[in-house]
Structure 1
Amino acid sequence: MVKQAKQIPLELPHKPSFEMADFIVSASNEAAFSVVDGWPDWPHHAVALVGPAASGKTHLAKAWAKRADAIEVNASDEIDAIAPGSNVLVDGADAATRRDETLFHLFNWTKETGGHLLLTSRTAPNLWNVALPDLKSRLATIPVAEISEPDDHLLMVLLVKLFSDRQLQVDLAVVDYIIKRIERSFTAAKELVDAIDRHALADKRKITKALAKTCLEAPTDR
């Protein structure tokens, strides 16, 4: 018997929603959401949004940027002139390629001209390796809005959203099966959904508990 060849899954882009209304609020991120959503009534002109990989920092930050009409700046680049009073987002401000001079300029410029600055990172600013003393002292003054790893409720809603972003229909019984067995982290949830999507497409299979089990037990897919 000739076996049917597997379909090679194409890495087609999927577009997650970055609207504020679509951000999933739970006990693990409620405090951080409240701080960012409270703009423009921030306690400081700058805020650091901190959390683990895939925790929704970028979602929340881009939703804020849309609301605040903010410009996004790469902290690794030299920057050109920015209009006075601009709101600025720096996503991944703790990157090893960060230019301290860029952050220092943005911090001072937004403060002096009445703008706001939102920094996202995986660790708090006081843990960054900052070579510029003046920047280090300024970062120590800003409030930190922290996102922790997901609780069961957030993990369930997150999985449903990740599947929905890929236009995949999954029975809630399968989601419940996954929640009882998956590592409690945003990264694990994202990587598992990626793996399930690839396997379902390659094998032309429905997403079932059996498929979820296969992906959960495959270290290379997680």
Structure 2
Amino acid sequence: MSGAPGSGQLPLALRFPPDQRLDTFVATDPVVLPQLRALVVSSPAQCVLVAGGANTGKTHLAIAVCAEAGARGIAAAYLPLASAAGRLRAALEAMEERDLIALDGVEAIAGRRDDEVALFDFHNRARDAGKALLYTAREWPADLPLQLPDLRSRLSQCLRIALAPLDDAGRREMLQLRARRRGLQFDPAAIDWLLRRVDRDLGSLAALFERLDRASLAAQRRVTVPFLRDTLGDLG
């Protein structure tokens, strides 16, 4: 079920954005992608917790794992926990039939006792039923302001994956991967020019990439330094 913004429905499943796939994620640790692919195909199912600061790619991975599962015929659902805070039990009950569930942003419900109890109960039911669970959080369970010790304990038992911010080489690779996936001609010199002038967190780069992709398509031009100057003239 998915709902348009303002519809009152919870975004339990999405049409997963095509750029948010495992093969478009650039990881600083080479074990990250194999571990997440193993979550999709593992038997018995696993529980994985991905932790990292803002703009390290947690949401990308949560959505990518669901897309990977869907491509393999596995029923998956993605839920940003911030959207369900205060009504989490109802949201989770609607996901009971899915085989893989990605719950993005545990910190959003930390300190909300009713939501913590709902997540604890759901976690136990899902594990008993052999379902795969993927959590993301900005910090490890021991550092989250959780009120329920039992929930902290359950989350601490998950396989842990730590994400670190990308350096410029990683950001460059991310832009190149997205460009190749869309058939966008993006000159290497243009990528270097861009990274010297814009906010380099992943969210900002992804939004800027979308803008450049549309502009390139409309102008029927490859992305070169002159094209960037024409399109983003305020950056110099």
Deviation per residue, 1:58-83 (Å, 9 max, x gap):
33222322424323345422232624
Structure with bigger RCO (C-alpha 8 Å, 6+ apart): 1
2:56 is matched with 55
State the AA in 2 paired with 1:115. Answer: K
Helix, strand or coil for the counterpart of 2:192?
helix
Q: What code does the residue aligned with 2:19 have?
A: S
Shift of 1:165: 7.4
Within the candidate set 68, 81, 105, 1:92 is matched to 105
Deviation of the 1:128 alpha carbon? 1.7
Using the TM superposition, give the Cα deviation of residue 29 of structure 1 relative to its aligned residue in structure 2, in angstroms. Answer: 4.3
TM-score (norm 2): 0.65
Q: Secondary structure at the match of 2:107?
A: coil
SS at match of 2:66: helix
CA–CA distance in structure 1, aligned partners of residues 212 and 130 of structure 2: 47
Q: Larger Rg: 1 or 2?
A: 1
Q: Which residue of 1 aligns with 2:20?
A: 18
Alpha-carbon distance in 2 for matches of 1:114, 1:43: 6
Q: Give the distance between the partners of 2:117 and 2:75, measured in 1 at CA.
A: 24
Letter in 1 for 2:139: T
Letter matched to residue 64 of structure 2: A
Distance in 1 separating the partners of 2:163 and 2:201: 12
RMSD: 3.7
CA shift digits 1:162-210 (9 cap, x unpaired): 5677876432211122234555532342354466679x59xx7965353
CA shift in 2, pair 1:121/1:215, >3 Å: farther
Equivalent residue, structure 1, for 2:229:
210
Aligned length: 199
In structure 2, the residue corresponding to 1:30 is in which secondary structure? Answer: coil
What is the correspondence of 1:180-195 to structure 2 with a 5 Å cutoff?
A: 180-182=196-198, 184-193=200-209
Q: Which moved more, 1:124-133 or 1:187-196?
A: 187-196
Contact 1:151 1:184 in 2 (8 A): no
- Write the distance in 1 (CA, Å) between the matches of 2:142 and 2:100: 23
Q: Which moved more, 1:168-177 or 1:156-165?
A: 156-165
* Residue 38 (structure 1) shift: 2.1
TM-score normalised by structure 1 residue count: 0.68
Give CA-to-partner distance per residue, 1:136-172, whole Å, 9 cap, x none.
2222222321221113332112223456778764322
Q: How far has the Cα of 1:112 moved from its partner?
A: 1.5
Q: Tell me the distance in 2 between the aligned counterparts of 1:126 and 1:70.
A: 28
**Retained in 2: the 8 A contact 1:47–1:119?**
yes
Q: Structure 2: 5+ residue runs without aligned partners?
A: 1-16
- Aligned 1:140-151 pairs, distance under 5 A: 140-151=156-167
Write 1 or 2 for the structure with the bigger share of helix.
2
What is the rounded CA distance, in whole Å, between the counterparts of 2:163 and 2:183 in structure 1? 27
Describe the superposition over 1:77-127 as per-residue Cα deviations: whole angstroms up to 9, x where unpaired: 2232624x8322112222258721232122211222222210122332322
Q: Which runs of 5+ in 1 are unaligned?
A: 1-14, 218-222
- Aligned residue number for residue 69 of structure 1: 75
8 A Cα contact 2:45 2:131, kept in partner: no
Cα gap change, 1:74 to 1:197, in 2 (>3 Å): closer
Residues 1:42 and 1:189: Cα distance change in structure 2 (over 3 Å) = farther
* 2:131 alignment partner in structure 1: 115
Flag the 1:45–1:214 CA change in 2: closer, same or farther, 3 A. Answer: same
Range that drifts further, 100-109 or 207-216: 207-216
